[in-house]
Amino acid sequence: MGLVGLGLIGGSLGLDLRAQGVEVRALVHRSATAERALERQLADQVSTDPAVLQGCGLIVLALPLDRLLDPDPALRQALPADAVVTDVGSVKQPVLERWQHWHPRFVASHPMAGTAQAGVEAGVEGLFSARPWVGTPGVATDPEALAAVRELAEALGADWLECDADAHDQAVALISHMPVLVSAALLQSADQGGAAAGAAQLVRRLASSGFADTSRIGGGNPELGTLMARCNRPAVLQALAAYRQQLDALEALVQGEDWGPLHAALSRCQALRPEFL
């Protein structure tokens, strides 16, 4: 089994696979990362040399979206032609378009799992258990390769599902990418609004679990948030427009003191939320 990248997703894959007795070989960018990854036992072999992937039958590209969409030529050349290759990127259409031309057994996929952590220290055991893992095959996707990625996901306890790449990107824009920007806006509003009211420290001291829950992803990895917006821009803009429309409607109810309709809208949201959990 080969891993390219040992951050949160790659490191977590390594821990779970090694716990199941799978030999894991990993390619990383820096020697210091390789040393720490071996100390954490994220893989059996870790190297900065792409040759470490030779002989691997299944390789997971656990790379940031920019490096996935514009990979090192040495990486592409090192991937065995007969290996199944998959990725874990949160945007699928552009990844599928590129990689289906670059590798004959590529499968675009996305495990819907994560934390706010990043880097070689971020990997944890059990990250994928009971979480969705989405495959987005194209017309040229090798069925046997797709089955191999599904087997990997299910071996890690993930719930496998399949959909079109474009449908995936529209869905994650609504439930993952757009919420990052909304959460960031919440943090900025609290910061700037508190300062304008002369209560900058008070709003910080009064912030509790509700604010923590709604602001968590906005205070996460800025590189990841930027890449999601950049690589899924049309769908993210569409999702933001839909959100703005709903926010405007709620604001109109408050402005008009329409408390009955507001209560009805919030009641619908109360009933709706469990469907997303």
Distances in Å between the Cα of 71 and the Cα atoms of 78, 87, 91, 151, 207 are 12, 12, 15, 26, 42
Q: Which DSSP category does 173 fall into?
A: I
Question: What does the mean pLDDT of the chain come to?
Answer: 96
Largest CA distance in the chain: 67
195-206 per-position pLDDT tens digit:
999 999 999 999
Which spans in the chain are helix H? 8-19, 31-39, 65-69, 73-78, 93-102, 143-155, 165-172, 178-196, 200-206, 209-215, 222-231, 233-255, 259-272
Whether the pLDDT of residue 117 is over 90: the answer is no
pLDDT at 154: 98
Same domain for 149 and 188? Answer: no
DSSP per residue over 211-249, as a string? HHHHHTGGGS-HHHHHHHHHHTHHHHHHHHHHHHHHHHH
Q: Are residues 153 and 173 in the same domain?
A: no
The domain in which residue 109 lies consists of 2-163
Q: How many domains does the chain have?
A: 2
Does 144 lie in the same domain as 22? yes
CB atoms within 10 A of CB 101: 10
What's the pLDDT score for residue 275? Answer: 95
What pLDDT shows up at residue 277? 87
Whole-number Å distance between alpha carbons of 266 and 143 = 45
The pLDDT tens digits for 191-250 are 999 999 999 999 999 999 999 999 999 998 899 999 999 999 999 999 999 999 999 999
Mark which of 163, 184, 213 sits at the end of a domain: 163
Last residue of a domain, one of 139, 163, 187: 163
Whether pTM exceeds 0.85: yes
- CATH number at 222 reads 1.10.3660.10
Residues 149 and 56 in one domain: yes
241/139 same-domain check: no
Answer with the one of 112, 146, 163 that is the final residue of a domain.
163
* pLDDT classification of 116: cutoffs 50, 70, 90: confident
Q: Is the pLDDT score of 114 beyond 90? A: no
Q: Answer yes or no: do 231 and 245 share one domain.
A: yes
Question: Which DSSP letter does residue 50 get?
Answer: G
181 and 155 in one domain?
no
CATH number for 145: 3.40.50.720
